[in-house]
Amino acid sequence: MSNGAFPKIADPTLEPELIRRCYQSMITSRVLESKLSSLYKAGKIVGGVYLGTGQEAISGSLGVLLKRGRDIFSPLIRDQAGRIAFEEDLLDATRTYLGSAQGPMRGRDGNVHRGRPLEGMPAMISHLGVGLSLVTGMLLARRLKGALTGVVGGTSVGDGATSTGSFHEGLNMAAVEKLPLVVVVADNQFAYSTPRERQFACKSLLERAAGYGVSGFEVDGTDFIACLQTVKQAVDSARAGGGPQLVVARLLRLCGHGEHDDASYVPPELRDSNLGRDCLEVARAQLLDMGMVTESEISAWQDEATERVQEAVAIAQKERGPDPYQEDWRATSTSGMQS
């Protein structure tokens, strides 16, 4: 872990409150994910637990810069920080992971496959890259309804998803329609266990932007302030009518693909490189340095997060799962469409 140089100048366009809120979301995310991992290892969560350790800065930046109720945020697998920053209720997470019938997915889907589509947060499916066209469609609808002004749609993918046809079709389509789509690519070096050199041949995924005719940004994903600055630039540009934006964040996933995976395929020298820095620690140092938070504030945020997480887990854990005998087993909203 290196505490290399990072910008110490506070960006005048970044409101301190936004920075603080983002950092707090990152802390809460880390605490929640650590608890989810523990519940998995105690046999309480089935299926899998997928963490965003090391990706909180870039995810949180996108989430915090989008406004719930106005913007659209289509998170992917490692976006717990972004979800919290976008004001997703912690209960949505714990209920979905623990299979509570009262969660937004009611036990019909689990873990990271959750959302509230009517509140601008679609529920991801496992197939990668499909979120780009989905958000494009949501933005197109806003435009057709005359309600696009000031709206941005953000979505995240990893480097692996950029290899799919869906990613290409979606980004190209958004570019053709010049819609305010912000795509954040967390280039986290591995798609499950496959290293990026087996995923794509260009030097940086940033090069792709020009091909699609969209604006491109590249950022050190471990550098909290840089992430916020870059994503803000992209979001502002989209909001101002600049069309789709591609943000590539270089970082390292600091956990396995899921909690069943010990990531033994990651070489130690990569962990020790700048890419392996923990963005949370970088953020902490940056904020303390800028005098934006105090040690005791951080400690209080940490305690608050622990308490909120514990409460969300306790509530969800005490709730019943779905009852197969009460389930309506209907896949369409209209009755009589299944026979």
**Considering only residues 94-113, where is the footprint of other proteins by CB under 8 A?**
104-106, 108-109, 113
Stretch that binds other proteins, among 16-24, 80-88, 164-172, 242-250 (CB under 8 A): 164-172
Stretch that binds other proteins, among 127-135, 222-230, 238-246, 297-305 (CB under 8 A): 127-135
Task: Report phi then psi at 72, rounded to 5.
Answer: -120, 135
Question: In this structure, are strands 190-191 and 194-195 parallel, antiparallel, or unpaired?
Answer: antiparallel
Residue 121 carries which DSSP code? B
d(CA 31, CA 94): 12
Stretch that binds other proteins, among 42-50, 183-191, 229-237, 247-255 (CB under 8 A): 42-50
Q: Please state the closest distance from residue 318 (CB atom) to other proteins, in A.
A: 5
CB 128 within 8 A of CB 160: yes
Residue 326 touching other proteins (CB under 8 A) = no
Report CA-CA distances (Å) from 104 to 93, 245, 310: 9, 30, 19
Residue 118 carries which DSSP code? G
Site for other proteins in 188-247 (CB under 8 A): none
Question: CB atoms < 10 A from the CB of 159, how many?
Answer: 22
Residue 268 touching other proteins (CB under 8 A) = no
Residue 180 touching other proteins (CB under 8 A) = no
Binding other proteins by CB under 8 A: which of 259, 276, 280, 282? 259
Binding map of other proteins across residues 9-38, x = CB under 8 A, - = no contact: -------------------------xx--x
Site for other proteins in 70-99 (CB under 8 A): none
**Of the two residues 140 and 288, which places its CB atom closer to other proteins in the complex?**
140
- Residue 196, SS3? helix
d(CA 285, CA 312): 29
If 0-12 CB within 10 Å is exposed, 13-18 middle and 19+ buried, where does residue 167 land? buried
Residue 141 touching other proteins (CB under 8 A) = yes
Task: Report phi then psi at 313, rounded to 5.
Answer: -70, -45
Residue 69 touching other proteins (CB under 8 A) = no
Stretch that binds other proteins, among 13-21, 43-51, 52-60, 234-242 (CB under 8 A): 43-51
- Residue 92, SS3? helix
Binding other proteins by CB under 8 A: which of 3, 12, 69, 262? 262
Binding map of other proteins across residues 284-323, x = CB under 8 A, - = no contact: --------------------------x--xxxxxx-xx--
Q: Please state the closest distance from residue 154 (CB atom) to other proteins, in A.
A: 13
Q: Please state the closest distance from residue 188 (CB atom) to other proteins, in A.
A: 19
Count of residues of this chain found to bind other proteins when the rule CB under 8 A is applied: 73
**Of the two residues 39 and 66, which places its CB atom closer to other proteins in the complex?**
39
- Residue 43, SS3? coil
Report CA-CA distances (Å) from 68 to 18, 179, 263: 14, 19, 34
Q: If you write DSSP's letter for every residue of 138-152 in order, what string do you get?
A: HHHHHHHTT--TT--
CB 151 within 8 A of CB 70: yes
Stretch that binds other proteins, among 136-144, 196-204, 228-236, 281-289 (CB under 8 A): 136-144
**Of the two residues 125 and 240, which places its CB atom closer to other proteins in the complex?**
125
Binding map of other proteins across residues 144-163, x = CB under 8 A, - = no contact: xx------------------
Binding other proteins by CB under 8 A: which of 81, 130, 209, 293? 130
d(CA 109, CA 215): 35
Q: If you write DSSP's letter for every residue of 213-280 in order, what string do you get?
A: T-EEEEEETT-HHHHHHHHHHHHHHHHTT---EEEEEE----S-SSTT---TTS-HHHHHSGGG--HH
Binding map of other proteins across residues 237-256, x = CB under 8 A, - = no contact: -------------------x
